[in-house]
Amino acid sequence: MILEKKKAFSEFAANKGLRSTRQRDIILDIFLSTHQHVSVEELYLKVKASHPGIGHATVYRTLKLFAEAGLAREILLHDGQTRYEHVLAGEHHDHLVCTGCNAIIEFEDETIEKLQKEIALRHGFLIRSHKLEIYGLCACCRS
Amino acid sequence: MILEKKKAFSEFAANKGLRSTRQRDIILDIFLSTHQHVSVEELYLKVKASHPGIGHATVYRTLKLFAEAGLAREILLHDGQTRYEHVLAGEHHDHLVCTGCNAIIEFEDETIEKLQKEIALRHGFLIRSHKLEIYGLCACCRS
DNA sequence: TAAGATTATGAAAATGAAATTCAAAAGCAA
DNA sequence: TTGCTTTTGAATTTCATTTTCATAATCTTA
């Protein structure tokens, strides 16, 4: 999976005429080694730990590239820090989010996907991605 | 509906020991007169148009109060501007978000709603609210 | 493989949204 | 009113992110 992502980024870079650099390789490695959501600052610190020369701006720039390449996705929480999460192959990215215990239950529903496409079509809208989050209480927290 | 919201805010303010001020009334009026999704800056400009004395900070502070009071909800898009949208009773809250021009197209789909309920039921999950955002390019931006 | 051309990098500066400060003004209770 | 507290607005500060620009690294092609 990690190799696939590296390949995916190589291809993206090749396509875009981007150069292959030591920094991008390092940042990609470290990003792929993280779990869940990383803020830019967190990733920068991780990068700096093993490669002190790499600058802030490069981490910012490179994460944006990952997002463009479809490897990562920007997430905005309410603390003013942009985070990046991993984009997994075939994921549909729908969640039941428990406001009691913060558990996240993932689910997939083809019919919902299909309906979304219909709605988009009706509005002449070209779908790039989507996010469906259902907030409430999970089985544990409601009882 | 507007009166209900005003009352709701009065009650919230009373509860919190907040004072009733001319500025808050004005900002609430103007916020209620807008349609979905106002950025702080947009609202500030609207406020300033009729009440030049009211400052930036007050608009920021007051919108945060509205969010706390449950009248408004902060939305974060990817342009670094916080927007506030109206919280409507029984609202469905689904959006097509154009990443080209930041246009927001609202839609409702009963079937999607129903499917969400089914999914929740299947997981023993109690729905409180949900958010469905479809990102992509609107008809204008894709052409 | 060296030269030339272009892209990427890093440090520092710039930007810009949002928060904070603080003196003055306004609301409130008695 | 009086006195106390909250709120306001202008200016300042903060802090994440972006930009700038000189230098360095990468790529191309001769």
Structure tokens that stand for B96 in this block: 């097509």
A21 compared with A94, residue with greater pLDDT: A21
B89: CB within 7 A of chain D nucleic strand: no
Q: How far apart are CA A55 and CA A60, in angstroms?
A: 9
Tens of pLDDT, residue by residue over A62-80, are 999 999 999 999 988 888 8
Structure confidence at residue A90 (pLDDT): 67
Tens of pLDDT, residue by residue over A17-65, are 999 999 999 999 999 999 878 999 999 999 999 999 999 999 999 999 9
Domain identity same for B10 and B59: yes
Contacts of A142 in chain B (CB under 8 A): 124-126
Contact A106, A69 (CB under 8 A): no
A50: CB within 7 A of chain D nucleic strand: no
Q: How far apart are CA A72 and CA A68, in angstroms?
A: 8
A17: CB within 7 A of chain C nucleic strand: yes
Nearest Cβ partner for B115 among A111, A124, A139: A111
Domain boundary among A44, A63, A86: A86
Domain identity same for B71 and B110: no
Cα four-point dihedral sign B121, B133, A36, B64: negative
Mean per-residue pLDDT of chain A: 90
Contacts of A112 in chain B (CB under 8 A): 112, 115-116
Q: How large is the ipTM?
A: 0.79
Structure confidence at residue B76 (pLDDT): 87
Between the CA of A36 and the C1' of D22, what is the distance in angstroms?
Answer: 37
Domain identity same for A63 and A17: yes
Which residues does B contribute to its contact with A (CB < 8 Å)?
A: 74, 76-78, 96, 98-99, 105, 107, 109, 111-112, 115-116, 119-120, 123-139, 142
Tens of pLDDT, residue by residue over B62-90, are 999 999 999 998 988 888 899 999 987 66
Give every residue of chain B whose pLDDT is below 50, as ranges. none
How many residues in total does chain B contain?
A: 143
Domain identity same for A82 and A98: no
Between the CA of A21 and the C1' of C1, what is the distance in angstroms?
Answer: 21
Inter-chain touch B127–A136, beta carbons under 8 Å: yes
Domain identity same for A99 and A73: no
Domain identity same for B109 and B74: no
Structure confidence at residue B83 (pLDDT): 94
Domain identity same for A33 and A74: yes
Say which CATH number the domain at B134 has: 3.30.1490.190
Domain identity same for B25 and B77: yes
β-pairing verdict for B126-137 and B94-98: parallel
Residue B124 backbone class (left: φ over 0; alpha: ψ -120 to 50; beta: rest): left
Domain identity same for B38 and B107: no
Domain identity same for A101 and A132: yes
How many residues in total does chain A contain?
A: 143
Domain boundary among A43, A65, A86: A86
Structure confidence at residue A76 (pLDDT): 86
> What is the band of A118 on the pLDDT scale with cuts at 50, 70, 90?
very high
Q: How far apart are CA B71 and CA B9, in angstroms?
A: 8
Domain holding A131, by residue range, is: 94-142
Inter-chain touch A119–B107, beta carbons under 8 Å: yes
> What is the band of A15 on the pLDDT scale with cuts at 50, 70, 90?
very high
Number of Cβ atoms within 10 Å of the Cβ of A61: 13
Contact B70, B29 (CB under 8 A): no
Domain identity same for B12 and B72: yes
Structure confidence at residue B20 (pLDDT): 95
Structure confidence at residue B33 (pLDDT): 94
Domain identity same for A127 and A74: no
Contact A128, B98 (CB under 8 A): no
Tally of domains within chain A: 2
